[in-house]
């Protein structure tokens, strides 16, 4: 694979296990995936992301945050204070992931809303993009975005692992967000998602693996890793009538603009 296009995987989680992280990242490099955003979301995922970013400062960008599944365990103020302390010792490229999920945690909706809004405000204060998770919470997500002030220019962030329809994609594009597609777009039953993927403008398109979850076809069933983002690019190339090289190029440019 040496000499192939350079890919930017904008969403990967790492456990706090140095040997495993090094092995996964070295395999990514060997597949032409030379830029990765290491994404937090819990105390454990934040530690793993920090370790990956410290081990590969040239290649791995860092996002720290607390995701919706943490929402009921503390107040937003406690989470934000924790992020402030972590950020004193690390250089952040984004806040996240954070957001809303009514599929797994409908009962904590109010707490999710408050935690999401608090991190949107923190990202605005820090002038950083936000990495947003949203599942079965379309309206609630849009409402929080609309109610939370944002003073930035350019893009506000990215909705990662997008699984929505064309209408929801259009609403997110209206709100200065990029849309990132994961291995789910390669799944056999994902026709609706591929329709969404066809209409996202070049300047708003990102790709990711969401490592270690949801490996793309033909790796499905394996533990996912950034090296597999090439399969997401190939699928998007087919959907959008272009080449994987072109998808690699535009998503890399967009990711560099957002995450540095
Ligand atoms: Zn994630």
For the segment 99-109, what is each residue's pLDDT rounded down to a tens digit?
Answer: 999 998 889 99
Q: Strands, E, within the chain: which ranges?
A: 7-12, 33-41, 60-66, 94-101, 130-135, 157-159, 177-181, 205-207
Q: Is the pLDDT of residue 136 over 60?
A: yes
- Residue 4: the pLDDT is 55
- pLDDT (tens digit per residue) in 221-230: 999 999 999 9
The average pLDDT across 19-37 equals 96
User: How far apart (Å, rounded) are the C-alpha atoms in residues 165 and 191?
Assistant: 10
The average pLDDT across 179-206 equals 97
> Torsion angle, CA of 86/92/97/100, rounded to 10 degrees?
90
* Architecture label for domain 7-259: Alpha-Beta Barrel (3.20)
Q: Is the pLDDT of residue 1 over 60?
A: no
Cα of 45 from ligand 1 centre, angstroms: 9
Cα of 133 from ligand 1 centre, angstroms: 7
The average pLDDT across 87-110 equals 95
Q: Which residue has the higher pLDDT, 1 or 106?
A: 106
The average pLDDT across 93-99 equals 98
User: How far apart (Å, rounded) are the C-alpha atoms in residues 199 and 232?
Assistant: 16
Q: State what percent of residues in the chain have pLDDT above 90.
A: 95
Cα of 210 from ligand 1 centre, angstroms: 5
Give residue 2's pLDDT band: very low, low, confident or very high (50, 70, 90): very low
Cα of 245 from ligand 1 centre, angstroms: 25
Cα of 49 from ligand 1 centre, angstroms: 11
Q: What is the mean pLDDT of the chain?
A: 96
Q: Is the pLDDT of residue 208 over 60?
A: yes
- Residue 17: the pLDDT is 86
Q: Is the pLDDT of residue 166 over 90?
A: yes
- Residue 62: the pLDDT is 98
The average pLDDT across 184-204 equals 97
Cα of 12 from ligand 1 centre, angstroms: 7
Cα of 13 from ligand 1 centre, angstroms: 6
Q: Are 234 and 244 in contact (CB under 8 A)?
A: yes
- Residue 3: the pLDDT is 46
Q: Which residues surround ligand 1, an ion (CB under 5 A)?
A: 97, 210
* Domain assignments of the chain as residue spans, ordered by start: 7-259
Give residue 84's pLDDT band: very low, low, confident or very high (50, 70, 90): very high
């Amino acid at each position: 694979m040496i000499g192939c296009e350079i890919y930017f995987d904008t969403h990967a989680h790492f456990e706090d296990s140095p040997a495993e992280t090094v092995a996964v990242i070295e395999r990514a490099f060997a597949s032409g995936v030379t830029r990765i955003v290491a994404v937090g979301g819990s105390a454990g995922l934040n530690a793993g992301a920090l370790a990956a970013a410290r081990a590969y400062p040239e290649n791995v960008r860092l996002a720290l945050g607390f995701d919706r599944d943490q929402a009921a365990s503390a107040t937003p103020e406690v989470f934000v204070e924790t992020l402030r302390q972590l950020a004193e010792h690390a250089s952040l490229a984004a806040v996240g992931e954070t957001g809303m999920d009514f599929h797994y945690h409908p009962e904590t909706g109010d707490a999710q809303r408050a935690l999401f809004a608090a991190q949107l405000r923190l990202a605005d204060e820090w002038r950083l993009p936000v990495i947003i998770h949203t599942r079965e919470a379309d309206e609630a997500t849009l409402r929080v975005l609309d109610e939370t002030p944002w003073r930035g220019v350019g893009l506000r962030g990215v909705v990662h692992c997008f699984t929505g329809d064309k209408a929801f994609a259009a609403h997110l594009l209206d709100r200065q967000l990029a849309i990132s597609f994961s291995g789910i777009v390669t799944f056999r039953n994902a026709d609706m998602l591929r329709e969404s993927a066809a209409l996202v403008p070049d300047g708003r398109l990102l790709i990711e693996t969401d490592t270690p979850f949801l490996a793309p076809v033909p790796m499905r069933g394996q533990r996912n890793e950034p090296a597999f983002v090439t399969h997401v690019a190939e699928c998007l190339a087919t959907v959008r009538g272009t080449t994987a090289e072109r998808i690699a190029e535009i998503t890399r440019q967009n990711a560099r603009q957002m995450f540095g």
